[in-house]
């Protein structure tokens, strides 16, 4: 399989699995939800965390370049080139 096709297929599968995990997680949060199987047990607990509210800073601080730095990284994106699927037959005309 071409690495580009494999990457696209894996990203689709990961997205599908993450969506399913979110649906299951939401179910576990309902009172009375079944949280135990023969092999696993789900634990649901509340956890607090501190959140920095940068929008509360004075505009002078937000505009000051001394408090900012630029970072650079690679971003890999994938998009379909056509609506054709692997199951469709390719017809060549001479």
CA dihedral defined by 41, 44, 47, 51, rounded to 10 degrees? Answer: 100
**pLDDT (0 to 100) of residue 1:** 87
**pLDDT (0 to 100) of residue 24:** 97
**pLDDT (0 to 100) of residue 93:** 65
**pLDDT (0 to 100) of residue 94:** 55
Q: What is the pTM of this model?
A: 0.67
8: exposed, middle or buried (C-beta count within 10 Å: 0-12, 13-18, 19+)?
middle
**pLDDT (0 to 100) of residue 56:** 95
Q: How many helices (H) and strands (E) does the chain have?
A: 2, 0
Write the pLDDT tens digit of every residue in 3-16.
999 999 999 999 99
pLDDT at 88 over 90: no
Sign of CA dihedral 25, 28, 34, 35: positive
């Amino acid at each position: 399989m071409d690495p580009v096709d494999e990457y696209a297929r894996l990203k689709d599968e990961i997205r599908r699995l993450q969506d399913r995990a979110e649906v299951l997680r939401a179910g576990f949060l309902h009172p009375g939800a079944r949280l135990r199987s023969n092999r696993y047990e789900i634990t649901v607990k509340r956890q607090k965390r501190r959140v920095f509210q940068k929008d509360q800073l004075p505009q002078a601080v937000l505009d000051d370049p001394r408090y900012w730095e630029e970072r650079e990284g690679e971003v890999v994106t994938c998009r379909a080139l056509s609506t054709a699927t692997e199951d469709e037959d390719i017809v060549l005309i001479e």
